């Protein structure tokens, strides 16, 4: 069941209620003042899907692309100290 956010027009308090999707918002009772003047507010949608079959979101794809671009750029730079990787000192 989803969690809905409400604002009570009688007392001005904000609260959340876990209700079924077909519940009538006008029947919601404010837990602070017990009035039936609660108005459902628009809130951010949050979802979390975990597991090996999860499809990546757009933000995940953009983050991966940004990381790959940074890795490619930094691979071309010389090392900050010393010499490049395959160096073996000669006696």
Q: What is the pLDDT of residues 35-80, one digit of tens each?
A: 999 998 877 665 666 666 666 667 777 888 888 888 888 777 766 6
Specify if 27 maps to a domain. Answer: yes
Tokens of 60: 């995940």
With beta carbons less than 8 A apart as the criterion, state whether 11 and 33 touch: yes
* Residue 30 falls inside a structural domain: yes
Domain presence at residue 19: yes
- Report if residue 16 sits inside a domain: yes
| Range of the structural domain that residue 7 is part of | 3-40
C-beta separation of 6 from 40 below 8 A? yes
Quote the number of domains for the chain. 1
How many Å is the Cα radius of gyration of the chain? 27
The pTM assigned to this predicted structure is: 0.47
Give me the torsion for CA of 45, 51, 55, 56, rounded to 10°.
Answer: 70
């Amino acid at each position: 069941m989803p969690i809905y956010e409400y604002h009570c027009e009688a007392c001005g308090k904000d609260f959340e209620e876990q209700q079924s999707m077909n519940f009538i918002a006008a029947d919601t009772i404010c837990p602070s003042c017990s009035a039936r003047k609660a108005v459902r507010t628009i809130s951010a949608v949050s979802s979390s899907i975990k597991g090996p079959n999860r499809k990546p979101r757009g933000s995940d794809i953009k983050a991966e692309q940004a990381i790959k671009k940074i890795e490619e750029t930094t691979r071309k730079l010389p090392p900050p100290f010393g010499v490049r990787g395959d160096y073996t000192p000669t006696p």
